[in-house]
Amino acid sequence: MSDIPSSAPILPPATLGMLGGGQLGRFFVAAAHEMGYKVWVLDPDPNSPAGRIADFHLVAAYDDFAALDRLAAECAGVTTEFENVPAATLDYLAKFLPVHPAAAAVAVCQNRIEEKGFLARNGLPHGPYAAIRSEDDIRIANAGLFPAVLKVARFGYDGKGQARVADRDEALAAFRQFKGEACVLEKMLALDYEVSVVLARDERGAVRCFPTVENRHRNGILDVSIAPARGSACLRDDAQEIAERIAAHLGYVGTLGVEFFVCRGELFVNEMAPRPHNSGHHTIDACVTSQYEQQVRALCGLPLGEPRQHSVAVMVNLLGELWYEGGHADGVYREPDWSVLHGVPGLRLHLYGKHHARPGRKMGHFVVIGDKPDEVLEHALKAREAIGIHGE
C-alpha cells in the first residue's frame, strides 16, 4: 500500500502522474482531461501516444530518480498503465504521494511465478503448473503437465516469450532458447473459450465490475472482444466473483483486468493485469463509466462510477500489419482505407497515434455498439474483413 494516505480526495485542477506512455495511458490522459485534471506522463519514448497529449511528457527511464523526484513534486497522485514498471519505482514514489496500484500488488502481477503462487495460496482456480528456474526443474516436472506451454516469468505479453512444448525435450530446448530465464510450465488445457473481467476497487474496498467479456485471440494477441460475453449467466457471475476476490487479496486500488480460460465449463485464472485491459476498451463507448475514468476515480479517492453497459459491444483490434500491402513488413507501407469503417452503423474508430506501425503492434481498435447482439457481432466481423483482417 502507499505510504501516503489519501484522506481527502484529489480534485481538479490537480496534476496526476502516469507511468507509461502507451495507448492505455493515452486513454487515461483523455479521461482525466475531461474530468478537469492535468496529467504528466513519464515514458522513455519521446513519441509515446500518451506523452503526445499529456500536459507534460517527462522523457526518462522508469528508474531515473531525478525524473521521479520531479514527478513527485508536480503531481498529487501517480498510477501506471504498464505492469513492467519496476516495483521499486512505485515504492519510491509512494514515500511522497499516493500511488495506486501499490508496488506490492504490481509485483505479484508482473512475475508469473509470483502470480501462480498467489493464486495457489489463496485458493483461486488455476491450471496445473511448475515453476522453472533451471533445466533440472524441467527434468523433475510432473509428466502429467505435458503437453504444456512454457512462458517466461517476466516481460512476456501478446504471445511473446511463450512456446508450446509437447514433452520434456521440447521444454528443455525452449528453456535454452529463452536463455535460461525463469519460466512457468503450464499444462495445456482443453480450452472452450476465454473471458475476462475488468473491475475497479477503491481504498475503502468498494468494487465495481464491468460485465464479463468473451475474447478471441489470433497469434497470441487479442483480436475480438464480445461484451457482454455469451454463455451462461452463472459463469459470467462466477468470473466477476473470482476477480473481486483477487482484488481483495491483493489489497488492490485502481483498475484491474483478470483473464480466464473456460475449460469444460470451468473457470481457470490465466493472468492478472494491474491496469486497464485491452478487453475493456469498449467501456469508453458502451458503458456509463469507462475503465479509464474508473482509474482516475480510484486514484483520486472519488466515488467509483456506474459500470453498467448501456449497449451491446464488439471490439476489434487493429494491428500494424494493416499498414502494409499484403499484411507483411516487406509490403508497401500506407495508411489503411478508413472509409470502409466509417459507414458501418454504430462503429467508433480509435487510433492511438503511434509513431510507426509494425506487424503485431496494437495501433488502434474499433468498437461496434447496438442493441441486438447477433447484429452487432455481424457488423463488427464484416467491418473486420473489409479493413483487411482475414481468418480466425
CB 93, CB 114: distance < 8 Å: no
Domain spans of the chain?
15-99, 128-187, 193-387
The answer to the question of whether 194 is labelled as a binding residue is: yes
Into which CATH architecture does domain 15-99 fall? 3-Layer(aba) Sandwich (3.40)
pLDDT at 158: 56
Q: What is the pLDDT of residues 79-120, one digit of tens each?
A: 999 888 999 999 999 999 999 999 999 999 999 999 999 999
The answer to the question of whether 189 is labelled as a binding residue is: yes
CATH of domain 128-187: 3.30.1490.20
The answer to the question of whether 112 is labelled as a binding residue is: yes
The answer to the question of whether 375 is labelled as a binding residue is: no
* Side chain identity at residue 313, one-letter code: A
The answer to the question of whether 301 is labelled as a binding residue is: no
Give me the helices (H) in the chain, please. Answer: 23-34, 49-53, 65-74, 87-93, 103-109, 112-121, 135-139, 168-177, 233-250, 283-286, 291-300, 339-342, 373-387
The answer to the question of whether 217 is labelled as a binding residue is: yes
Distance between CA atoms of residues 239 and 195, nearest Å: 8
CATH of domain 193-387: 3.30.470.20
pLDDT at 220: 86
The answer to the question of whether 57 is labelled as a binding residue is: no
The answer to the question of whether 188 is labelled as a binding residue is: yes
pTM equals: 0.95
Q: What is the pLDDT of residues 190-243, one digit of tens each?
A: 999 999 999 999 999 999 999 999 999 998 899 999 999 998 999 999 999 999
pLDDT at 159: 59
Residues of the chain with pLDDT under 70: 1-7, 156-159
The answer to the question of whether 154 is labelled as a binding residue is: no
The answer to the question of whether 151 is labelled as a binding residue is: yes
The answer to the question of whether 159 is labelled as a binding residue is: yes
